[in-house]
Every structure is written in structure tokens, then in C-alpha cells.
């Protein structure tokens, strides 16, 4: 008996402590219930957190800033959903001052602001049955973000507000929307769609690190070189992999990852970038990175390529992955397209390719806004972005209610 007890004691302790740890974790550091209290409320805005479960079981954290600092003044506010890009989460809309950050600028200008966080990021890392340590948890690419995350969030907002919404996507947030709209999903739930730094095509991508990484992803990840389903820049194996890439490719400046990936942003505030790097990068799935690399390689927007026509056939009923035909986006859908001359990721030539797909779009419903000196991150973090971009976005929203 004594021996038995002795043997079980450590086990009980372990169990107890894991339980305690898990309890503390979920009560005091509930991932996804924290952006409001740690970031938004301190600068004077009311903010609410919600959880939305996708059809395939991911539990997404979503924040709402219902009114500006001056209050709501009783008017009905139009909902706007902000969808961040890859390797970041919704916090990236909130890091400059309230006069400069898009989420606050919208709230102070009478909009009802909703902030998305895609699966796998810190506010949205939970799943009804899987855990991030399961391989199956990471078995998705931007196909699933378009097919599951986006509709779950949009339907939730629609239900809460009873209104169609305006959408702002940055980078991968534009790709998700374009993919979805090209399948004519969500179209009737959107008042208008603003795409900042659209990345439907990546074949002119100029970021040297991106190009090298894309080639490596296509060659080696598929043969399971890294052997892990999660892509997390904070992971030692991944950062070693990047430094190896850097030393093997002298053309890449790895001292500044932000520049290497996104271009020479003109207008970032150094202290904001420091804060940004405290929260980001966020993990994503290896499959998502491989899918982006395929988009870069193929110069064509289509679903994830399983690399074998047999597997593709099993998945899709055809030997090659189905194409997202952007010409299927209804010509009457109000579209705002903002892009920059210094953007390494959303290259001007690739944006022209996208615009060529939209050449039959109703000219009254398509507004193209070009900022010569802006690179990729300026659209989210630029100190001048309110004046250079956001005011035009808000005018566009007001013109398309």
C-alpha cells in the first residue's frame, strides 16, 4: 500500500500542477481575451471580445470596438471587419496612436470596428478537439481561411449587427477575400471591400528572402525537411533555417527581417516597430507557407496543390487544383484597391495582373489608390497612413453604404 502510494504521489502532483497551470492559464491569461484589456481599453475605447467557432472546429477570438472615444452618440454605426495578413494577428491594427491606427480612426469616425484573428494566431489558437501540438491542427492553408474562418466571422457580425459589412484586408487578408468572392461566397454580405497590398499574384514578388524561402519551401518542406506542421518564426529550428538561408544567400539583409520581407517602408515609427515585434510574428501552418510558395511559383491563383495528380483527384475530383477565377467576382461589388510603389510583396506588376482580371468591373465600383512611397507595412503601421490611405477608404465606405 505504502509503495503504491509512493509510486502514485508524484503522478498526483504532476496532475495537480498541470491542472493548476491550465486553470491559471485559462483564467488569467485567456488567449484571445486580452487584446481589449491590454491594448484597446488603456487608450480609452470600449472594447468587447467574442469567440466564434468555425465549421471545422477552430475557436477564433474577435474584438469589437463599438464606438469612438467620444461615445456612440446614438447613431447606427456600420460594421467594418479588419483582416490582418500572414504571420501577424489583429493587434497589428492597433499599435500606433489612436490618431494613426486604422481600427481607432474608423471607430472615431463613426464605424463599428471588428478585428479578426485567423486560426493558429495567439487569440485564436483553440480548437474544439485538437491542440496545436497535433499535426492535424495545422492541416490547413489559406483555402481554409477563405472557406471557414472568413464566413464564420462574417456571419457572426451579421447576426450581431443585422447589417452587411465593409471589409478591410491587408496582404493575406486580401487573398482570402478574393478567393472567397471569386467563388461568389460572402458577396451578398459585403457592402464593400477594401484591399490593401493585394497579393493575389506573387510571381513578381521582389523580396529576396521571400523568393529564396519560397524555393526552399517548394523543394524541401514537401519532402518534410523540417518535419513539423507549424511555421513559427519564434521556433529555434525555423529561425536556424532562416539564418542558414541568410548566410547561404549574400544578397539578403537578414539584420532587418521587416525590410527583407516587406520592402523599405517609408513611414514606420521605430518605437511602434519595437512594440510590433513584441506581439509578432505569430505562427501559421507550414501548409499555408507552402501554398503561398505555390502561388509564387505558378503565377496562378488556385487551391493547394498536393503535388500528385492522384491526391489532387481524391481531394478535388480533378488532377490539378481548382482555380480561383477572379473574373467571377461580381462586377457591381464595390472594390477599393490600395497599393504602394515600394512594396516587395504586392508588387506593382502583380497588382496590374489582378486589375487585368477585374477589367470588366463596373468603373464606378472600382477605386484604385496608389501611394508611390509606401511599402507593405506602411499600409498598416505607417504614421501617415490616415492621411495617405485611410481617409480615402472611409470616403469609399461612405459612398457605398
Tell me the catalytic residues: 171, 343, 376
Q: Which is nearer to ligand NAG, 239 or 318 (CB)?
A: 318
- What are 383-391's contacts with CB under 8 Å, separation 24+? 383/96, 383/100, 383/267, 383/268, 383/269, 383/272, 384/267, 385/100, 385/102, 385/267, 386/99, 386/100, 386/102, 386/105, 388/267, 389/196, 389/338, 390/102, 390/105, 390/106
Closest to 182 in 3D by CA, of 328, 295, 323, 303:
328
Residues forming contacts to ligand NAG in the complex (CB under 6 A) are: 73, 75, 109-110, 269, 271-272, 309, 319, 323, 325, 327-328, 383
Please, what is the minimum distance in Å from the beta carbon of residue 232 to ligand NAG?
A: 27
Q: Are 375 and 263 in contact (CB under 8 A)?
A: yes
Please, what is the minimum distance in Å from the beta carbon of residue 319 to ligand NAG?
A: 4
Please, what is the minimum distance in Å from the beta carbon of residue 273 to ligand NAG?
A: 10
Please, what is the minimum distance in Å from the beta carbon of residue 209 to ligand NAG?
A: 26
Identify the three-state secondary structure at position 398. Answer: helix
Identify the three-state secondary structure at position 59. Answer: strand
CA–CA distance, 193 with 164 (Å, rounded to integer) = 11
Q: Which is nearer to ligand NAG, 37 or 318 (CB)?
A: 318
Identify the three-state secondary structure at position 198. Answer: coil
Q: Which is nearer to ligand NAG, 168 or 268 (CB)?
A: 268
Closest CB to ligand NAG belongs to which residue?
Answer: 110
Q: Which is nearer to ligand NAG, 1 or 270 (CB)?
A: 270
CA 314 to chain centroid:
29
Q: Which is nearer to ligand NAG, 244 or 319 (CB)?
A: 319
Please, what is the minimum distance in Å from the beta carbon of residue 72 to ligand NAG?
A: 8
Amino acid at each position: 500500500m505504502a509503495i503504491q502510494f509512493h509510486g502514485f504521489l508524484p503522478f498526483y502532483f504532476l496532475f495537480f500542477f498541470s491542472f493548476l497551470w491550465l486553470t491559471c492559464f485559462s483564467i488569467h491569461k485567456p488567449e484571445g481575451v486580452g487584446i481589449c484589456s491590454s491594448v484597446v481599453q488603456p487608450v480609452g475605447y470600449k472594447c468587447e471580445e467574442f469567440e466564434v467557432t468555425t465549421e471545422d472546429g477552430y475557436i477564433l477570438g474577435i474584438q469589437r470596438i463599438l464606438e469612438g472615444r467620444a461615445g456612440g452618440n446614438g447613431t447606427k454605426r456600420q460594421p467594418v471587419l479588419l483582416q490582418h495578413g500572414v504571420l501577424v494577428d489583429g493587434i497589428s491594427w492597433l499599435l500606433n496612436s489612436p490618431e494613426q491606427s486604422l481600427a481607432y480612426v474608423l471607430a472615431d469616425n463613426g464605424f463599428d470596428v471588428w478585428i479578426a484573428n485567423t486560426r493558429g494566431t495567439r487569440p485564436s489558437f483553440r480548437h474544439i478537439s485538437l491542440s496545436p501540438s497535433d499535426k492535424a491542427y495545422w492541416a490547413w492553408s489559406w483555402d481554409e481561411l477563405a472557406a471557414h474562418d472568413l464566413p464564420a466571422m462574417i456571419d457572426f457580425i451579421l447576426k450581431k449587427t443585422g447589417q452587411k459589412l465593409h471589409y478591410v484586408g491587408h496582404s493575406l487578408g486580401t487573398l482570402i477575400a478574393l478567393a472567397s468572392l471569386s467563388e461568389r461566397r460572402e458577396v451578398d454580405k459585403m457592402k464593400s471591400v477594401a484591399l490593401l497590398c493585394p497579393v493575389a499574384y506573387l510571381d513578381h514578388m521582389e523580396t529576396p528572402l521571400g523568393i529564396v524561402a519560397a524555393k526552399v519551401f517548394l523543394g524541401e518542406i514537401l519532402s518534410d525537411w523540417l518535419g513539423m506542421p507549424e511555421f513559427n518564426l519564434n521556433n529555434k529550428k525555423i529561425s536556424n533555417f532562416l539564418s542558414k538561408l541568410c548566410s547561404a544567400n549574400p544578397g539578403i539583409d537578414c539584420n532587418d527581417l521587416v525590410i527583407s520581407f516587406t520592402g523599405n517602408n517609408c513611414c514606420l515609427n521605430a518605437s511602434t516597430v519595437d512594440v510590433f515585434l513584441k506581439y509578432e510574428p505569430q505562427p501559421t501552418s507550414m501548409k499555408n507557407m507552402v501554398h503561398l510558395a505555390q502561388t509564387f511559383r505558378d503565377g496562378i491563383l488556385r487551391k493547394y496543390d498536393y503535388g500528385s495528380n492522384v491526391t489532387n483527384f481524391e481531394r478535388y475530383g480533378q488532377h490539378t487544383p481548382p482555380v480561383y477565377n477572379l473574373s467571377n467576382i461580381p462586377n457591381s461589388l464595390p472594390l477599393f484597391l490600395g497599393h504602394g510603389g515600394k512594396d516587395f510583396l504586392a508588387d506593382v506588376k502583380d497588382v496590374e495582373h489582378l486589375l487585368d482580371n477585374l477589367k470588366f468591373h463596373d468603373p464606378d465600383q472600382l477605386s484604385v489608390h496608389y501611394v508611390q512611397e509606401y511599402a507593405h507595412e506602411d499600409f498598416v503601421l505607417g504614421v501617415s497612413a490616415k492621411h495617405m490611405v485611410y481617409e480615402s477608404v472611409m470616403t469609399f465606405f461612405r459612398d457605398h453604404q
